[in-house]
Amino acid sequence: MYNIATMFAKTFRGGVHPAEHKESTVDKKIKLVPAAPEIILPLNQHIGAPNEPLVRPGDTVKLGQRIAESKALVSAPVHSSVSGQVKAIQDFFNPIHGKAPAAVIENDGKDESLPFEERENPDILPKEKLINIVKDSGIVGLGGAAFPTHVKLNLPKGKSVDTLIVNGAECEPYLTCDHRLMVEGTDKIIKGIYLAAGILSVKNIFLAVEENKLSAVFAMEKAVREISTKSARPKEVPLQIMVLKTKYPQGGEKQLVKVILKREVPPGKLPLDVGVVVQNVGTCFAIYEAIYEGKPLIERCVTLTGSCLREPGNFIVRLGTPLRDVVKFCGGFKEPPAKIIMGGPMMGVAQYTQDIPIIKGTTGVVFLSKKEAEIPEELSCVRCARCVDICPVNLLPTEIMRMVKYSRWHRMEELHPSDCIDCGACAYACLSKIPLVQYIKLAKQKELKKK
C-alpha cells in the first residue's frame, strides 16, 4: 500500500523493522467479549503506590464499584467490571508480577451498575474537576505502561507544556487494537484528545500514526475535517496528524517527541521537561468514556493474535476476565501455543499460564507456535555493531554487554546504561542472538544500587 503521505513519513535514527504480522487482525472489527462467570481483578494495575482493598470476601459489588484504591498521588483505583459477590481477596496469577493480590468476584450475570453520570458539555467544567474524574475513573496509560493518567494531566506547579502528542503509532508487531480503535472509535478518541488538550492548555496537538495504518489516518483525517467545518464551535487548536515510518520503537515517548518536535528528552527526564505530554489513543478513548459517559475504566480493547489461535481478532474485554475465557470466545487453539506473550513480541512478558486475567496494561496477547517460540542459541559477539547502529538512544550495547560479562562495573557509568529505554531492538537485531537488552538491564540495576 503506497501513498503520497508515506513517501515523506518521518522517522528517527536507528530502530528495526520486525515482520508486522498485523494482517490477521487488522481488518477484524472489535467484538465485545461476554462477561466471564468469575473475574480476577488484581488490586494494583498501575505503576505507583500500592492500593488497599475496599471490599471484603462476602461483600456484594456492583458494576463500576471501586474495589481498591490508595491515598497516594501516583495511584489509580480499580473498579469492578461485573456485579456479584467477592469470593476472596488473595494472591493470584498476575501477568506482570507472577503472583499478586487480587479480588476474585463471582459474576451474578445481572450487570447491576452504579449510576454513571453522563455529561453533555464537559468542556465548561473546571480543570481540577476533570482531572478528578480521570483520577476517580482509574485511568492509566493504556499503551502498556499503565502510569496513572491524572498525574500526567496534572502538571506540577511552575511547569507548562505546549504540545500534546497522541500516540497511535502502535509499533509493536502483531498488535492492532489501537489501529481498530482509531477506525471504529474515531469521534470518541478525538473528543478525548480535546479534553486532554484542554486540561493541559497546549498550543499544538499531534496524532502520531505509523504509515502501515492508513485506514486509521484516513478515518481520523475525515473526522478532524468534519469538526473544523461542521462543528458549531470550531476548535482553536488544530489536531495535526503525523504519518510516521513503520519502524520499531517509533511509538516510544522519546522517539515521538524527537520525530515530531525535534526535541530530545534529556537523560533521566520526562517528555514533560521539554514541554510535551504523550498520551496513547486508547487512553484518550478512556478519558472520553470517563468524562462524557461517567464510566470508570472497567474494560479495554485487546488484540488476541498469533498463529495458534483459531479466530484472532480485536476485542473489548472486561478487566479481570481470565485469558482462558477470552481464548474460548475466539474459538480456542488450532495448535497448542508454546509461548503466550502479554503485550507485543518486542517488550511483552511471557506467561506461564492461561489463568492470568486481562488487566489495564494488556494491549494484546500473542500466542506463538513451537517453531516461532524457539530461542536461538547465543553465539560470540563479532562486534558487527548492528546494535550500535540501531540503538534509538545512542548507546553502545555491545560495549555494555562486555563490561557486564567482565564485571567492569567501575567503568560502566561512562556508557550510560540507565539511558536504555528497554525497547529490545538490540537483542532483536543481534547477529549472534545475544540478549543484549538483558545485559543492559543488569548494568542498569548495578548502577541504581550504587546510587
Partner 1 sequence: MEENLCISPGPHVFDRGSMPKAMRDVIIALIPAIFASIYFFRIRAVILFVVSVVSCVVFEAVIQVLMKRKVTIYDCSAIVTGILFAMNMPPSLPVWTCVLGCFVAIGLAKQLFGGLGNNIFNPVFLGRAFLAAAFPTFMTTWNNPVTLDAVTGATPLGMVKFGHDLSVNYGDLFIGNVSGSVGETSAIALIIGGIYLLIRKTIDWRVPLSYIATVFIIGSVVHTAAPGTYADGLFYVLAGGLLIGAIFMATDPVTGPVTKTGRWIFGAGCGVVTMIIRLWGGLPEGVMYAVLLMNAVTPLLNRLTRPRRYGT
CB of 263 to partner 1, least distance (A): 9
* Residue 445 in contact with partner 1, rule: CB under 8 A: no
| Residue 186 or 255 having the CB closest to partner 1 | 255
| Residue 16 or 193 having the CB closest to partner 1 | 16
CB of 425 to partner 1, least distance (A): 8
Q: Among 9, 16, 284, 326, which residue sits at the site for partner 1 (rule: CB under 8 A)?
A: 16
Spell out, one character per residue from 252 to 271, where the chain touches partner 1: x when CB under 8 A holds, - when not.
Answer: --x---------xxxx-x--
Spell out, one character per residue from 338 to 377, where the chain touches partner 1: x when CB under 8 A holds, - when not.
Answer: xxxx---xxxxxxxxxx-----------x-x---xx-xx-
Distance CA 150, CA 203 (A): 20
The residues near 386 (Cβ < 8 Å, ≥ 6 apart) are 426, 429, 430, 431
**What residue type is 96 in one-letter code?**
I
Q: Quick one: which segment of 16-24, 130-138, 188-196, 284-292 binds partner 1 (CB under 8 A)?
A: 16-24
Total residues found in the chain within this entry: 451
CB of 410 to partner 1, least distance (A): 15
Site size toward partner 1, by CB under 8 A = 64
A 10 A CB-CB count for 354 gives 18
- Chain positions 165 to 204 lying near partner 1, rule: CB under 8 A, are 173
Q: Among 237, 261, 272, 385, which residue sits at the site for partner 1 (rule: CB under 8 A)?
A: 385
| Residue 66 or 339 having the CB closest to partner 1 | 339
Distance CA 226, CA 352 (A): 47
DSSP assignment of 35-68 equals PPSEEEEES--SSSSPPEE---TT-EE-BT-EEE
Residue 200 · residue 164 · CB < 8 Å = yes
* Residue 326 in contact with partner 1, rule: CB under 8 A: no
DSSP H/E element including 218: helix 214-230
Query: How far is C-alpha 299 from the chain's CA centre?
Result: 14
A 10 A CB-CB count for 31 gives 14
Nine-digit cell string for 131: 482531572
Q: Which residue has the cell 494484546?
A: 364
A 10 A CB-CB count for 272 gives 16
| Residue 90 or 353 having the CB closest to partner 1 | 353
In DSSP terms, 168 is beta-bridged to 209
Range list of β-strands (E), 221-368: 239-244, 276-280, 299-305, 313-318, 339-342, 349-351, 364-368
Q: Which residue has the cell 459489588?
A: 61
* Residue 380 in contact with partner 1, rule: CB under 8 A: yes
Spell out, one character per residue from 401 to 420, where the chain touches partner 1: x when CB under 8 A holds, - when not.
Answer: -------------xxx--x-
Spell out, one character per residue from 209 to 248, where the chain touches partner 1: x when CB under 8 A holds, - when not.
Answer: ----------------------------------------
CB of 264 to partner 1, least distance (A): 4
* Residue 384 in contact with partner 1, rule: CB under 8 A: yes
CB of 399 to partner 1, least distance (A): 7
Distance CA 99, CA 91 (A): 6
Distance CA 37, CA 106 (A): 6
| Interacting residues toward partner 1 by CB under 8 A | 16, 18-19, 173, 254, 264-267, 269, 336-341, 345-354, 366, 368, 372-373, 375-376, 379-385, 388-389, 392-396, 398-399, 414-416, 419, 424-425, 427-433, 435, 437-438
